[in-house]
Chains A and B, each alone.
Chain A
Amino acid sequence: MDEKAPPLIEPLIELKNSGLKVRDRWLVRGVNLHVNRGEIVTLIGPNGSGKSTTARMALGIKKPSEGNAAKIANLRVGYVPQKLAIDWTLPITVSRFMQLTTKLKKDEIISALKMVSAEHLLNADLQPLSGGEFQRVQLARAIARNPDLLVLDEPVQGVDFNGEIALYQLIEKLRDQLNCGILMISHDLHLVMASTDRVICLNGHVCCEGSPKTVAESNEYQSLFGTHAAATLAIYHHQHDHKHLPDGRVQHSDGSITDHCNHDNHDHNNHEDASTNINYEHRADHEMGEA
């Protein structure tokens, strides 16, 4: 069921069995990933699971220690980092921030700000902006470059539930208008954007991948979130054939335990063999267990 035909169009970015080793330690290994134009791919996993590392490899900032990383020529990326602290010694307005990496015409700046309903902030100083305002300005900056690929690292972090829904709806709208690919990184292991095409669950390796189930289909969640929010969010069901032990070792479905995920005898993509349907619990780093 997961044997997809190779994509007819060239993916914007692609990782083939890639891994990155730093000082004899594998941060992440055996990742296969591609993002096509118009597609939303979400990387989920607990802190330290290699999400950012994977994104860096895919974007060509870090060269994989094994496997391949490829991207289309002249890939234009718009990036919204997880945390962007603007030092107080930097005097900067929204309009100048919008042109951080690319010089833009004034009407380009204004139309990008309009797309996120922040055109009134054009000449405002950047530092005093509220978290939500700054998040929207960052999105505007990323899309003003007219990117092929939008990379959003934890875009809803620090935003309240209603803000999260609004931001997801905005991102979906931007995807439709710009026809770009979107690579999103999230630490929320259960709730993802409903329009996510593929979810890749990482914890030092790809634990499982698939597409989310829209919340709207479930009456239970509809009553929990309200119909409006339920249409925007989706539940992702994990299917793991192994378990991450608290000490970082991996226990496989046959009961055997290895120091790290063993790529030779344990196929992560084989979901049909998955004996259990696993839900994560939010625990401390690296502790991913069966509920």
Chain B
Amino acid sequence: MLDDFFIRALIAGIGVAAICGPLGCFMVWRRLSYFGDTLSHSALLGVALALLLNINIMLAVFCFVIVLAIVLLLLQRQESLPSDAILGILAHSSLAMSLVVLGLITWAQVDLVSYLFGDILSVYKSEIAVIYIAGAIILGILFYIWRPLFAVTLNRELAEVEGIKATVVNAIYILMLASVIAVAMKIVGALLITALLIIPASCARGLAKSPESMAIYAAIIGVISVVLGLYGSLYLDTLSGPSIVVAAMFLFLLTLTPLTKIFK
């Protein structure tokens, strides 16, 4: 069964969507879309670096995104919070830089489109294994730190006064985000990772009454988007990564209609 590229794509996509849902909720709650964009756009620099140094792409992206995230976190700790402008400059300049570097790499065949929009249809069995192992670890950690992370998200000061180590919890979340970005690069590409994180979570907001149910709905909606998007791309012969995002967007529009009342 795993020999069929389409089945492999489905399994990989479902795995990534299931991780993205809950993590994406925190991104929505904390208004971190810009932050996520910055991290995922700069992930492409990790790809360029990997090709230059001839090392594993997923690993390079993971390391690069973590380094960048730590830099951003340090900026935050200096109480001069990175503004939208700084995040925007970082996101776009790193995107531009990586495109330039990739253009300079003449010795390897570089399929730019697959890095920008994902290449889910060529996912390997080993990559599926990585997605599910990483996913299990990430969701396990998330389950473990759920209450403190949510408390810090709702009000950092309150959480700290009541004994939660906000800095540690935040750092763990950023690490998880970096891992998800590294894993999701292959599926939707550097340009659309944030979409897979925030659109299902935003859909789930209209359906949920508690943070926990919002996370579960977000995962389910992400999975549905992947299935719809992949089948859509198969029949319409469109790019699979963007098709998944378009499917998610249609689901989001659906949640804006009175239909959502049924769930509540």
User: Is B147 a contact partner of A103 (Cβ separation < 8 A)?
Assistant: yes
User: Is B162 a contact partner of A96 (Cβ separation < 8 A)?
Assistant: no
User: Is B209 a contact partner of A101 (Cβ separation < 8 A)?
Assistant: no
From A76-84, A157-165, A193-201, A234-242, the one touching the partner chain is: A76-84
Q: Which residues of A contact B214 (CB under 8 A)?
A: 91
Question: In this complex, which of A79, A102, A103, A145 has the most chain B Cβ atoms within 10 angstroms of its Cβ?
Answer: A79
A90 to B27, CA, bound (A): 11
Q: Which residues of A contact B208 (CB under 8 A)?
A: 91
Determine how close the nearest CB of chain A comes to the CB of B13; give it in whole angstroms: 25
- Per-position binary interface string of chain B over residues 144-182, scored 1 when its CB falls under 8 Å from any chain A CB and 0 otherwise: 000110110111011111111000000000000000000
User: Is B209 a contact partner of A100 (Cβ separation < 8 A)?
Assistant: no
Q: Which residues of B contact A79 (CB under 8 A)?
A: 157-158, 161-162
A89 to B148, CA, bound (A): 18
Q: Is B213 in the interface zone, CB < 8 Å from A?
A: yes
A101 to B164, CA, bound (A): 8
Determine how close the nearest CB of chain A comes to the CB of B156; give it in whole angstroms: 10
Known: A87-B29, A100-B154, A101-B148. A92 touches B161 (CB 8 A): no
Known: A92-B210, A92-B211. A101 touches B28 (CB 8 A): no
Q: Which residues of A contact B157 (CB under 8 A)?
A: 61, 79, 81
User: Is A77 a contact partner of B147 (Cβ separation < 8 A)?
Assistant: no
Q: Is B186 in the interface zone, CB < 8 Å from A?
A: no
Q: Is A281 in the interface zone, CB < 8 Å from B?
A: no
Q: Is B205 in the interface zone, CB < 8 Å from A?
A: yes
Q: Is A143 in the interface zone, CB < 8 Å from B?
A: no
Q: Is A108 in the interface zone, CB < 8 Å from B?
A: no
Provide the main secondary structure of the chain B interface.
Answer: helix
Select from chain A the residue with minimum beta-carbon distance to B148: A101
Select from chain B the residue with minimum beta-carbon distance to A100: B151
Determine which of B147, B153, B159, B209 lies in contact with A91 in the assembled complex, contact meaning CB atoms within 8 Å. Answer: B209
A91 to B201, CA, bound (A): 12
Select from chain B the residue with minimum beta-carbon distance to A23: B79
Select from chain B the residue with minimum beta-carbon distance to A84: B155
| Those of A89-128 within 8 Å (CB) of chain B | 89-93, 96, 99-103, 125
A246 to B155, CA, bound (A): 35
Q: Which residues of B contact A77 (CB under 8 A)?
A: 161-163
Known: A86-B154, A91-B214. A61 touches B162 (CB 8 A): no
Q: Is A206 in the interface zone, CB < 8 Å from B?
A: no
User: Is A81 a contact partner of B209 (Cβ separation < 8 A)?
Assistant: no
Q: Which residues of A contact B31 (CB under 8 A)?
A: 87
User: Is B210 a contact partner of A93 (Cβ separation < 8 A)?
Assistant: yes
User: Is A151 a contact partner of B161 (Cβ separation < 8 A)?
Assistant: yes
- Per-position binary interface string of chain B over residues 197-212, scored 1 when its CB falls under 8 Å from any chain A CB and 0 otherwise: 0000000010011111
Question: In this complex, which of B29, B161, B164 has the most chain A Cβ atoms within 10 angstroms of its Cβ?
Answer: B161
- Per-position binary interface string of chain A over residues 134-148, scored 1 when its CB falls under 8 Å from any chain B CB and 0 otherwise: 000000000001000
- Pairs across A and B, CB under 8 Å, 17 listed: A59-B161, A61-B157, A76-B163, A79-B157, A81-B158, A81-B161, A86-B154, A89-B28, A91-B209, A91-B211, A91-B214, A99-B147, A100-B151, A101-B148, A101-B158, A101-B159, A151-B161
Ranked 5 nearest A-B pairs via Cβ? A79-B161, A101-B162, A91-B208, A101-B151, A100-B151
- 6 additional A-B pairs beyond A87-B29, A93-B210, beta carbons within 8 Å, are A61-B161, A84-B158, A86-B154, A89-B29, A91-B213, A101-B147
